[in-house]
Chains A and B, each alone.
Chain A
Amino acid sequence: MRNVVLLFVVAALLTAAALGVRGRVSENRPLMLVPDMDFQPRVDAQSESEFFADGRSMRTPPAGTVPFGGGDYASDAGAPTPNADMLAGDESYYQGKKNGKFVENFPLALDIALIERGRERFNIYCAVCHGGAGMGNGITTKRGLVGVPNYHDERLRKLPVGEIYSAITNGKGQMASYAAQVAPRDRWAIVAYVRALQRSGHAALGDVPVAFRGELEKTKTDDVKPAPAAKAAPDTKKSASEKNP
């Protein structure tokens, strides 16, 4: 009987030694004991294709075609919605241009929600290079990225909003296009926030709502801070008045 117990213990130890414990890091694909219908003959997003020569199952639309149907989610859930942006016809909204010139005014109504959205998007997509306050000192500039301009420079403060929009949409010089990551409305939100940053970099005490002035005097610093939510209020007015001068 001792042998039997011994044999069992050895077998158990061998199994444990071979299989390890739960959560063990392994490079091997998970074992599929019963693959049932796990892999159906269909095309998953971003999957590999054996059919197309370039190995992609997701195809690039042919040049000149127009996307049809609504957001990915709605379509995926079986409810394609009509796409308001289908023809991207509004030149000033989608290109930031009118008659070949960059637009000076925002082609959409500005409100605080849009600027807040712009701040959130800016911090996701732009701050890594341009810095939280737009000073051109984002973290990547300390790791080898050069040539990021400071938004508070005279030239950039004079840039028409359409040109900032175009920098996001088409890229500019060393900077690549962010059109794939940022939807047109969000691009305008970012532009509005960039304007707010530029404004805050050159704000006088008089621009700050009275209620917040005391606080500012206390924490006077030399560098420009990103506009906190409360301070964005006067910026809104400024930007809105830019729209209808």
Chain B
Amino acid sequence: MANVFRPRADLWLRQIAAFAVLASVGGTAALYYYGPPEYTRVGYAPLQPTAFSHELHAGQIGMSCLYCHSNVEESPHAMVPPTATCLNCHNQVRANSPLLAEIREAGKTGRAVAWERVHKTPDYVYFNHSVHVKRGVGCVSCHGKVNEMPIIRHDQPLSMGWCLECHRNPEFALRPPSEATNLDWSPPVGQTQVEVGLHIKQQLAVNPPQTCAGCHR
């Protein structure tokens, strides 16, 4: 009976084994790098039905977030503004712009504009905007520099680890609640973020939940 394995089989075996080791190391590394929301979500910037620009409205024109997201201080949901809010200005400003055709159409027919959702926590997570904004967590901590984004982009991972990182040490993010919508706020000269944060944490008795039932209720 001839040899089942040729002399080269030994080499093949070694090469396959080496490749398997490399591939599993590489695959694990890739999974760690590409698996978490830091990769999957951050940078998500869907095309919206209307070319609405935060960079223009919140940046150049300097509108407060609350003009449009007016619920954010009172409600769990920041909410995307109704068409009527756009028409406050756009019944006059750029009233014939083709870029606003969708908005005018929606205003006339009462149909909703199908904005593409960017940020979404899973349905088993309880998230509440008003608690955060009223306690001095700025929009910028969770949404990034929205006033510099022509198209809204997912800026933070919104993963559980990320939520908890802040809930353990909120002083790295806290600011006076009146500055929550001011994305360019920085601590007053001579004070560090941690000093300001610790002061506010004490003053408002900020105590974010770290127990499971705080966010999974």
Contacts and interface: CB of A to CB of B under 8 A. Distances in A.
B209 interface: no
A56 interface: yes
Interface in B76-133: 76-77, 79-80, 82, 84-85, 87-89, 91-94, 110-112, 114, 122-124, 128, 130-131
Nearest to A5: B22
Interface size class of chain B, counting residues whose CB lies under 8 Å from the partner chain: 35 or more
Interface string B10-27: 000011001100110010
Given A4-B19, A174-B92, A76 B61 contact: no
A72 interface: yes
A139 B93 contact: no
Interface string B26-63: 10001001110111111111110000000000000111
B170 to A, nearest CB: 19
Contact of A76 (B33, B40, B75, B93): B75
Contacts of B19: 4, 7-8
B112 A55 contact: yes
B111 A55 contact: yes
Nearest to B22: A8
Contacts of A48: 114
* Chain B interface helix/strand/loop/mixed: loop
B193 interface: no
Given A8-B26, A45-B79, A26 B92 contact: no
A144 B15 contact: no
B27 to A, nearest CB: 9
B64 interface: yes
Contacts of A40: 123-124
5 contacts: A4-B15, A22-B42, A31-B40, A55-B112, A72-B74
Given A22-B42, A27-B44, 8 more contacts: A27-B47, A37-B123, A40-B124, A72-B77, A73-B128, A124-B64, A176-B91, A181-B85
Interface of B: 14-15, 18-19, 22-23, 26, 30, 33-35, 37-47, 61-64, 66-67, 70-71, 74-77, 79-80, 82, 84-85, 87-89, 91-94, 110-112, 114, 122-124, 128, 130-131, 153-154, 178
Interface of A: 1, 3-5, 7-8, 11-12, 15, 19, 22-31, 33, 36-40, 42, 44-46, 48, 54-56, 71-73, 76-77, 120, 123-125, 128-129, 139-140, 143-147, 174-176, 180-182
